[in-house]
Chain A
């Protein structure tokens, strides 16, 4: 199996303060911690497991600027064979269509059996890159994949639906799968492991190398145009319980007792 995994470097915004840029078109990124998109980490692990079971190669690709290199090296340390960087400069501000066009150049030019992507990116993710890429390529696809088993020229997958329900599908190869969290337990990456792949060469491809003309991607080529970002309106806010932890605990227990709970 020749497998391509698409990975993106994203900021952790769940556990950090998110501040708007003065121009209102983006957020301040300086104080945020960046890392591999959570869904992509599961995708890389799944690709490596498929390779370990069936042979082949795993290539990871990102459209990003040079500081995304650490994410690619982390994937190499996990066990990916090759990494490719598509120069993200011209893609700045691209919508999912621009990203999918960039990835198409790689996926189409080499004989991959499978492309894995995350079900969504945790930043402003649309959950679109995977299925749009599949549409461009004319390949089969499945989103929200929770298991993969390789058969002869096909893959059987489960997709996550709502309420704990899953569906089972069989897809003809080549296929694009978008991976849902929890599909596996991604392996731990040690500093030693990253050091070992320190000198592995990572080619950087420009637009022409992925078959795109200047101006065909990036903010000006977008069909989805960001007008402005804003902080969501407060709406109904919770009543805040303040005080020392002991005082807060007492108040919580009062509410518990009021609601007929034990305590």
Chain B
């Protein structure tokens, strides 16, 4: 039976949530296309992770070695190369994350197995593997087929599949020998760096007014600040506003910023990239203002307003005044 492998992502002593979304996808590939799911856990001190995954799939391949304590593409790709060549899985899945983006394209170049990144859907069409990717700022879906190959590498966009609930399978854990590395290493892990804590904690705010690239210019930031103050909201933003240094990093909502759970999220001039939306999962009411009726944010919001954000900002200020 053809196999589908899930590469577990973990960092600083915890399995990362996206791994469980891959479990759901692997199960779907099992039920629809008869692929057999297995998990691959690589690292140091990872037996507890292997145990968790063994409750989800029949087999978990565990590669335990001190040299794997910190993630580097160099060592992890060497391990995966070995596993792929010996176990010949048809599909290997990994999250589209800083981990997957660093590892899978490189692994593809080194193994010759083709890779599709950032997929939102994966399925078989007869013998060939087909994926769907969301492109052009989420406005278009692209369906791609792979040229036939012995195996395929896929990274999956967060939120594309629901995370698997806790399971109680009695899967086996297989101790897989760590291959020898071709030292000296070219890469050296030096450590982690935590973002400096800012002056506000947007993750605790019950009401966020969030602005995106639509704010257009640093000169318009005070307008947004004033409106937030009038509304009793905390001001947050999408990534480009931080990249341009218009607001501090501590106000950024999204995968590489903060995860927030306000009772009310009022987004203006934000298109709705998945990295942004991933940061507001579990929020209460979500209102989006965007002048583009096709903006993907309207597929996620509860209420939508197609209008120039500056007109709405002015009107809100006026209405609060009266």
Given A128-B105, A166-B193, are A229 and B256 neighbors across the interface (CB < 8 Å)?
A: no
> Which of B140, B143, B189, B256 is A27 in contact with, Cβ under 8 Å?
B140
Structural contact, B146 and A259, CB atoms closer than 8 A: no
Structural contact, A225 and B102, CB atoms closer than 8 A: no
Q: Complex formed: what's the CA distance from A55 to B195 in Å?
A: 31
Name B115's closest neighbour in chain A (CB-CB): A128
Question: Which residues 301-322 of B sit at the A interface, judged by CB distance below 8 A?
Answer: 301-307, 311-312, 314-316, 318-320
> Which of B136, B306, B312, B318 is A252 in contact with, Cβ under 8 Å?
B312
Structural contact, B98 and A17, CB atoms closer than 8 A: no
The segment out of B21-29, B41-49, B85-93, B282-290 that lies at the interface is B282-290
Structural contact, B143 and A227, CB atoms closer than 8 A: yes
Structural contact, B257 and A239, CB atoms closer than 8 A: no
Q: Complex formed: what's the CA distance from A263 to B315 in Å?
A: 13
State the majority secondary structure of interface residues on A. Answer: mixed
A67 at the interface (CB under 8 A from B): no
B75 at the interface (CB under 8 A from A): no
Structural contact, B318 and A249, CB atoms closer than 8 A: yes
- Contact residue range for chain B? 35 or more
Which residues of B are found within 8 Å of A165, using beta-carbon distances? 192-195
A160 at the interface (CB under 8 A from B): yes
Chain A nearest CB: distance from B138 CB in Å?
A: 7
Question: Which residues 80-124 of B sit at the A interface, judged by CB distance below 8 A?
Answer: 97-99, 101-102, 105-110, 114-118
Structural contact, B264 and A127, CB atoms closer than 8 A: no
A245 at the interface (CB under 8 A from B): yes
Which residues of A are found within 8 Å of B213, using beta-carbon distances? 14-15
Name B147's closest neighbour in chain A (CB-CB): A223
Q: Complex formed: what's the CA distance from A263 to B320 in Å?
A: 6
B242 at the interface (CB under 8 A from A): yes
B188 at the interface (CB under 8 A from A): yes
Name B308's closest neighbour in chain A (CB-CB): A245
Q: Complex formed: what's the CA distance from A18 to B186 in Å?
A: 43
Q: Complex formed: what's the CA distance from A164 to B248 in Å?
A: 12
B223 at the interface (CB under 8 A from A): no
- Per-position 1/0 for A164-200, Cβ under 8 A of B: 1111111110000000011001000000000000000
A208 at the interface (CB under 8 A from B): no
Structural contact, A140 and B186, CB atoms closer than 8 A: yes
The segment out of A69-77, A83-91, A131-139 that lies at the interface is A131-139
- B135, B249, B257, B301, most chain A CB atoms within 10 A: B135
Given A226-B142, A245-B312, A248-B315, are A131 and B102 neighbors across the interface (CB < 8 Å)?
A: yes
Q: What number of residue pairs across chains A and B have CB atoms under 8 A from each other?
A: 268
- Per-position 1/0 for A240-263, Cβ under 8 A of B: 110001101110110110011111
Given A128-B117, A170-B187, A239-B302, are A227 and B145 neighbors across the interface (CB < 8 Å)?
A: yes
A22 at the interface (CB under 8 A from B): no
Chain B nearest CB: distance from A138 CB in Å?
A: 9
- Per-position 1/0 for B144-168, Cβ under 8 A of A: 1111010000000000000000000
B201 at the interface (CB under 8 A from A): no
- B186, B263, B304, most chain A CB atoms within 10 A: B186
Given A164-B257, A170-B190, A252-B316, are A141 and B106 neighbors across the interface (CB < 8 Å)?
A: yes
Given A143-B102, A161-B98, A232-B141, are A127 and B136 neighbors across the interface (CB < 8 Å)?
A: no
B299 at the interface (CB under 8 A from A): yes
Chain A nearest CB: distance from B143 CB in Å?
A: 4
Q: Complex formed: what's the CA distance from A125 to B138 in Å?
A: 12
Interface residues of B, Cβ cutoff 8 Å to A? 11, 16, 72-74, 97-99, 101-102, 105-110, 114-118, 130, 133-147, 149, 186-195, 206-207, 213, 231-233, 239-240, 242-245, 249, 255-259, 263-264, 266, 271, 284-285, 287-288, 292, 294, 296, 298-307, 311-312, 314-316, 318-320
Between-chain CB contacts (< 8 Å), 16 pairs: A13-B136, A124-B133, A131-B109, A135-B105, A142-B102, A156-B190, A159-B98, A163-B257, A165-B193, A222-B147, A227-B145, A228-B143, A232-B141, A248-B307, A249-B315, A263-B232
Interface residues of A, Cβ cutoff 8 Å to B? 11, 13-18, 20, 27, 96-97, 100, 119, 122-128, 130-136, 139-144, 156, 158-172, 181-182, 185, 222-232, 234-241, 245-246, 248-250, 252-253, 255-256, 259-263
Please give 5 more A-B residue pairs, beta carbons under 8 A apart, in addition to A224-B144, A238-B304: A229-B135, A229-B142, A234-B299, A241-B303, A246-B318
